[in-house]
Chain A
Amino acid sequence: MSFDLNQTEDQRQIHDACRAMLAEHYPLSRLRGPATAESLAPLVAFGAFAFALPEAHGGAGFTLLDEALLHVQLGRHLISPAALAAPIAARIALDNGQLEQAVKITEGQTSVSAMVKTKNGILLLGNGAAVLGIIRQHDTMQLIDISQVNRDRKAAMAQGQPIFAIASLPAPKSNNVAKAQTSQTAQILVSAQLLGVAEGARDLAVEYAKIREQFGRPIGSFQAIKHHCANMALGVEKLSAQLDMAAIAVGKQSEDAAFQTAALARIAPNVALENARICIQIHGGIGFSAEADAHLFLKQAHVLRQLIGQTDFLALPAPMAPTREDT
């Protein structure tokens, strides 16, 4: 396994550009107040949805790891799940030989939403106007035409993320199923966003711990708060390492790809939820209010957690040593 994690100048530049684009178009302040549909136009213009697609398919040809790192940034900005749906939908289209469809998706002409199953039906997250929806059923994912499907706006837990109920979906077609690699890629990108949530919560909390004073000193000087912050850092380190591992394994289609992704999918929601919880706690009263951003990280972690999908991890063979392709 060539485990090249050192970024090239190109990679550094594109990630810096991404950060600037997100700061300009997706400040967290946009999420205060009533939930509205998010415009994905700046992301489309950036090429975010075709980032790691082959150049032959209109993509930018970056690696899956690069794309994952992009989604870490998206995660920090608590972007609508529609931004996860698009790159996955494009891949499902390509998996089924629908190049034209894929291009329309990555260029924002065809809108896609993520869907999740509930006990009684289906929820559509983010973009209520979407004409395509992605849903995960067991280990596979499907891309479904939902243009004719009725949807009802629902009161959501999460400010900032509109949510709609759908009673039933049209019967699935055979040419809309994701290949295994695409399904794993979806878990990688959702996990990357969860890492972004975990990082964002950590940074918000650490910054606050440095400036908020009680008893005449910054609260970050109290060991209780220091340990909370350190625990958030531990969570981020663990999750980001596993993200690298899984993104590389899936990108190269190594034999441990399923194992690494399944491990990632179990860790990611827990780290994000825990960091968001600690972030609220470190903020004290203001953390419990809607006026600080801490709660937004928690709610986004809940949304992403529903999208990740769990596999039967114990049924997968464990790689006893790192998989070596280049031996």
Chain B
Amino acid sequence: MNLDIEIDDNSFRLRARAWLRANLGVTSSDNIRHGGQTARKTATQWLAKCHAAGWSGVAWPREFGGQGLSPARLIIWYEEYTRARAPSALDCTFVGLNHAGPTLIACGSDTQKSFHLPRILSGKSIWCQGFSEPGSGSDLASLKTTGKVEDDMLVVNGQKIWSTCADLADYQELLIRTEPGSKRHRGLSWVICDMTLPGITVRPIENMAGVSHFAEVFYDDVRIPLSNVVGALHDGWNVAMTTLGFERKTAAIALQLELSVTVEDLITSAQAQPGTALSEQLADLRAEAAALRAMTYRAVLRDGGTPFDGSLIRLTFAELAQRIHRTAIDTLGAEALLDGPMVHDYLESYSETIAGGTAEIQRNIIAERILGLPREPRA
């Protein structure tokens, strides 16, 4: 392995820092993660600003309007971004920049790319993901929402759930069964769904932290042009899998760094006396966050690896995030019973081991795909 952590590109760092300092009107503490139209406005205006100055799509190739940053520069950018307390990467632009965009780059037609990519980069269009269904979460391949081919149209019927930002989104990456009678991974298509089409109903769902950033989406004879299929018709599973690695790597840097900031903020606010149990606990969390950062940087900087390596980072992140937020509210004493930013983040952290593949599924992947243990029985 050639691990060459060369992240001392100082002139680039200073350029990023100066720009962020001069242009950051909003910060991560703004209400951006709480959903709603205000959140959309804040997030998209900020992205438009980044875009105008050449800081949008940092990980996208240059030929598609991105910045094509090297892995080392990507790390520097996110370090400076987080240090400046810029808006969380997990806002409503997340799916477009980290998932839909890269999927279109990998599998989309020229028309799809030239229409959608600039809109994603500049914050003009917001995307959501419509994969999970009430009956198909961990077992995504059992999904039932259908798209019937009628001439040059797909007629979509069914239901998606847990679609984050579906109430704000212009487009949805929709995974549906297009080949009648097909089973499991076969016969699915990855489709660009315009959220304004007739027949679509979005019902926001409240989460346990009391906010509604995900939603149920119902499709009643929704007519989508066949030209909106990304990649080949009936080949949606492969299309969905192409971006697995991309999403997990770049998003991981931003998320990891945000977590490091949370730990440092907690150390500052807790004021633990040396030698107390709390100071020991905080020291452990800081060390764990450092190790997670090492894992993340190494994964980003080294060549090769498999898409499944992302599970190691994802799961370590998820469980560490939960420990950190739990420790944070433990420092509050009885004030933990009141609403507040730390309590909110604590409640939100319960999603870390569920969203994007549960902790149990990640452990199955690590055991089966990385360690080569026999597969669990499957349907």
Do A and B interact with each other, yes or no?
Answer: yes
Contact surface of A with B, Cβ cutoff 8 Å: 116-120, 123, 125, 154-159, 161, 163, 213-217, 219, 222, 224-225, 277, 280-281, 284-285, 287-291, 294-295, 298, 302-303, 306
Q: Which of B139, B206, B336 lies in contact with A291, CB distance below 8 A?
A: B206
Task: Report whether over half of chain B's contact residues are helix, strand or loop; otherwise say mixed.
Answer: mixed
Q: Is there an interface contact between A123 and B138, defined as CB atoms closer than 8 Å? A: no
Is B90 located at the chain interface by the 8 A CB criterion? no
Given A163-B337, A224-B364, A157 and B343 contact (CB-CB distance below 8 Å): yes
Cβ contact of A119, chosen from B333, B351, B376, cutoff 8 A:
B333
B339 contacts A217, CB within 8 Å?
Answer: no
B337 touches A302 (CB 8 A): yes
CB of B222 to closest CB in A, whole Å: 23
Residue B312 at the A interface, CB < 8 A? no
Q: Choose, from B65-73, B110-118, B279-287, B353-361, the stretch at the interface.
A: B353-361
Shortest C-beta distance, A277 to chain B (Å), equals 8
Contact in complex: A118, B333 (CB < 8 Å): yes
Closest Cβ of chain B to A296, distance in Å, is 9
Q: Does B262 contact A (CB under 8 A)?
A: no
- Which residues of B are found within 8 Å of A289, using beta-carbon distances? 205-208, 214
User: With A224-B360, A225-B360 in contact, do A216 and B378 touch (Cβ < 8 Å)?
Assistant: yes
Instruction: Name the one of B210, B334, B335, B379 contacting A290, with C-beta atoms under 8 angstroms.
Output: B210
Chain B residues lying within 8 Å of A287, measured Cβ to Cβ, are 350, 354
> Contact between A214 and B337 (Cβ–Cβ < 8 Å)?
no
A231 to B364, alpha carbons, bound, how many Å? 19
Query: B337 touching A281 by the CB < 8 A rule?
Result: no
Q: Which of B326-370 contact A (CB under 8 A)?
A: 333-339, 343, 347, 350-351, 353-355, 358-360, 363-364
Q: Could you tell me which residues of chain B, from 156 to 171, have a CB within 8 Å of some CB in chain A?
A: 161-162
Residue of A nearest to B351 (CB): A288
In the complex, which of the residues A117, A155, A222 contacts B338, with contact meaning CB atoms closer than 8 Å? A155
**Which residues of A are found within 8 Å of B334, using beta-carbon distances?**
116-118, 123, 306
Q: Is the CB of B337 within 8 A of A157?
A: yes
B337 and A303 contacting across the interface, CB-CB below 8 Å: yes
- Distance, CA A242 to CA B364, complexed state (A): 35
A284-B137, A290-B208 are contacts. A163–B338 as well, Cβ < 8 Å?
yes
Complex CA–CA separation, A123 to B337 (angstroms) = 9
CB B138 to nearest CB in A, in angstroms, measures 5
A225-B360, A280-B350 in contact; A214/B137 too (CB < 8 A)?
yes
The contact sample of 16 A-B pairs, CB cut-off 8 A, is: A117-B334, A123-B334, A123-B335, A155-B338, A156-B339, A163-B337, A215-B377, A224-B363, A281-B350, A284-B137, A284-B358, A288-B355, A289-B205, A289-B206, A298-B208, A306-B333
